[in-house]
Every structure is written in C-alpha cells, then in structure tokens.
C-alpha cells in the first residue's frame, strides 16, 4: 500500500519537472482544417505556410477580388452604371439592385465586396467589359499578368455555372497581394459599413461587411472576401497586420475558416519577423574604388524570417566595368544587387550612380559669394 502511495506522489513531481523543461516561448505550429490553405507575407510574397496550395479548386465569391480590382483600375469609378435586367436576375447573394436604376460604379464595388452582391458583379462586368464575355476576357488577361498560372475565370461572381471556373490558394494569395497594393481596393476591402443612395427611397442602402474577422473576430484583420457555393463550400481570403508584418491568408473548402485564419495568423506573427536585409541609400561595402561612396539603392529590402534564419542571407553586386569614355556621362544604373536567402534568389535591385549636383561642384568661394549676395538683397526684384 505504501509503495502505491509513493508512486502516486512521484508521478506529479515527474510531470512538473517535464513541464519545466518545455520552453515558455515554444515555436507556434501552423494548422488549417481546410482542404487547401496558404499564409503569405505581403511585401516579399514569401509563403510561410501551405497545404495543397497549388491544387485547382472551386473558389466561389472570392472571385470578386478580381472583379473589384479590374473595376477600380478601369478609371471609371465615378461613372454611373445603368443596371440591366440580367444583372438583377442573377441568383444567389444580392444587394437588391433595381432594373434600370443608375448607380455609381464605386458603390457597386462596395456592394460587391461587402455584401458579395452577384447582381453587382454582373452590372460591373457589363459596364466595364462591355459585355459579360468581354469582362471575363479582362479577368483572365489580368490573371496571366499577375502570374496566376493555375487559374481560369469563367464569370465575375464565382457561381457554379461553369466547370472550368477554378483557381488555387496560392494564385488567390498572389491576386490579393497585387490588389492590396492599390489604395482604393485596400480601403474598400477594409470597410466595415458602406452607405449608398437608394434610387427610389429617401433612405440609404446600408451594407455591412460579411467578413466576421474584420467586424469583430480578429483585431488585426485589415480586409478580405468571403465566399460560399454548394460545390465550392466555404472559401475565404483575409489580410491582417501586426507591427510591421502584413499577412495574407486563403482557405478553400474550409468548414472552420474563421478559426483557420486566426490560427495561421497567430502562428505567423509569433514565428516570423521582418528583417532589413539591405538598407536604402549608399552601399557602404563597395570595394571597387571607382564606385566607392558613389552608388546606392533607391529603396530598402525587407524579408520575413524566423530567429534561426537571420544569418542565411547573401548579397552579390554585379557592376558594369568603369569606362574611361564615360567621363561625365556615367549611366544612371551601373549595376544590380542580387540577394540570396540560402540557395534561393529572392530579390534583384538596380544600383544607381550618385550624380554630383552642380551646387556640389561650386567652390567654397562661389557658395559664400552667392550667400552674401542673397543677404544684401542684390538679386531681389525692384
């Protein structure tokens, strides 16, 4: 009996010791219940987590991200759109447009993104593309431009009316990364409530964003788009920012998508941080005497890494051979910097030659004389 008592006393002690050995800041683990998922960092495009991210699948209403960015880039956001009968008759989610009403394209994009209006999608497509087929052509053209290699759009809303309307989590993250660089899209995507004038009533239409991450579930959310059809199931794109880290999450066929996105974001924010690999300005470690203290990069380069990855960067400089015939006509771009992360090339940037301004060429006496003249007012009018 005493031996059994000793065993029961020893077990809690052992458990306590084991727990003490576990680091308090354990590395966060990534997980998503969705069939396909991805977490991407905005500035670099680095994939921080993926699950079947390159598998073509149905995407439902996250299609409307492409519809929105094409409408925004059309330059016609202030134009009035006449709503057709075919737009009003579109099945599924709606902002309840009225046949023949005239509504600003900007308001249609808000209705498209916040309430997922399929009627708004058709009205946008007919106005911007000239026809439904014309707009779908623009969608696929833009997809090719962005690099969405496993995507084909067949409509502007994402309904299951075509068998070949497919994309991947990776491609939708690429699209979102592209769209979030547009200030208008970023504002609309992150809007919680929008009001639009009603054509026949004295009150405004009020559209509340369906993205529950944005409206209350997750404080760091900055935007996104929801989606659902019977065949695609739940799809979701969202964006979030914490500190200097901007992240994009996509899930396809995700029954627990809100929690999937929160879990991916929390793991991403705990595991990664942005590191400045190359600062903007003068390149200080240039060995060539001709270029020393005279060449620079016009913007910095940052990259998301874990604490253990910080030492894996390598920078190479490829410079033009100085040419005696250049004299003062030195090219603006005299080389490029190539940044490697491990064995992977992650960035190429032009290197600029610092042209000497005329003021810098002036002698000390010339600068002093000009200063004196300006003080005594010789050059002033009258």
Question: Closest Cα partner for 68 from 199, 160, 175, 208?
Answer: 175
Annotated active-site residue 61? The verdict is yes
Annotated active-site residue 74? The verdict is no
Element at 360 (helix H, strand E)? helix 358-361
Residue 279: exposure state from Cβ atoms within 10 A (0-12, 13-18, ≥19):
middle
Going through the chain in order, the beta strands assigned E by DSSP cover 36-41, 47-51, 80-82, 102-104, 193-197, 204-208, 221-229, 233-242, 245-252, 273-278, 281-282, 295-297, 301-305, 313-319, 333-341, 344-353
Instruction: Mark out the alpha helices in 89-160 (DSSP H runs).
Output: 105-115, 118-129, 132-146
As a whole number of angstroms, the distance between CA 122 and CA 90 comes to 8
Active-site pick, 64, 210, 233, 294? 64
Active-site pick, 93, 116, 167, 189? 116
Residue 301 CA neighbour count, 13 Å, CB half:
21
Annotated active-site residue 149? The verdict is no
- Give, in order, the Cα–Cα distances in Å from 254 to each of 59, 235, 257: 11, 6, 5
As a whole number of angstroms, the distance between CA 382 and CA 364 comes to 29
Active-site pick, 36, 44, 61, 93? 61
Please list the residues that pair with 315 across neighbouring strands.
Answer: 339
Indicate the length of the chain as a whole number. 382
As a whole number of angstroms, the distance between CA 289 and CA 293 comes to 9
- Start-to-end CA span in the chain (Å): 113
The residues annotated as belonging to the active site are: 61, 64, 116
């Amino acid at each position: 009996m005493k031996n059994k008592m000793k065993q029961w006393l020893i077990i809690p002690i052992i458990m306590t010791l084991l727990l003490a050995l576990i680091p308090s800041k354990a590395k966060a683990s990534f997980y998503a219940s969705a069939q396909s998922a991805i977490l991407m960092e905005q500035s670099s495009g680095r994939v921080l987590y993926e699950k079947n991210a390159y598998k073509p699948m149905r995407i439902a209403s996250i299609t409307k991200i492409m519809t929105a960015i094409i409408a925004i880039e059309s330059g016609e956001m202030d134009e009035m759109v006449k709503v057709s009968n075919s737009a009003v008759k579109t099945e599924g989610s709606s902002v309840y447009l009225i046949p023949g009403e005239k509504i600003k394209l900007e308001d249609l994009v808000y209705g498209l993104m916040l309430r997922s209006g399929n009627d708004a999608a058709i009205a946008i497509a007919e106005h911007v593309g000239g026809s439904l087929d014309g707009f779908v052509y623009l969608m696929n053209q833009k997809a090719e431009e962005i690099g969405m290699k496993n995507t084909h759009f067949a409509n502007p809303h994402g309904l299951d009316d075509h068998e070949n309307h497919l994309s991947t989590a990776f491609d939708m993250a690429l699209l979102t990364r592209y769209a979030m660089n547009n200030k208008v899209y970023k504002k609309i995507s992150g809007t919680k409530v929008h009001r639009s004038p009603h054509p026949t009533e004295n009150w405004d239409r009020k559209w509340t964003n369906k993205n529950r991450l944005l409206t209350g579930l997750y404080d760091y959310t900055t935007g996104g788009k929801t989606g659902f059809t019977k065949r695609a199931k739940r799809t979701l794109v969202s964006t979030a920012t914490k500190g200097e880290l901007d992240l994009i999450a996509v899930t396809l066929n995700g029954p627990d998508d809100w929690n999937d996105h929160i879990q991916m974001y929390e793991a991403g924010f705990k595991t990664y941080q942005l590191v400045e690999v190359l600062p903007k300005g003068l390149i200080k470690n240039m060995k060539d005497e001709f270029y020393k203290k005279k060449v620079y990069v016009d913007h910095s380069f940052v990259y998301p890494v874990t604490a253990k990855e910080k030492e894996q960067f390598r920078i190479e400089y490829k410079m033009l051979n100085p040419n005696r015939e250049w004299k003062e006509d030195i090219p603006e771009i005299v080389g490029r910097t190539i940044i490697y992360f491990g064995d992977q090339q992650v960035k190429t940037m032009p290197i600029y030659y610092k042209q000497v301004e005329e003021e810098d060429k002036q002698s000390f006496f010339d600068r002093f004389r000009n200063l004196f003249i300006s003080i005594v007012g010789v050059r002033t009018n009258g």
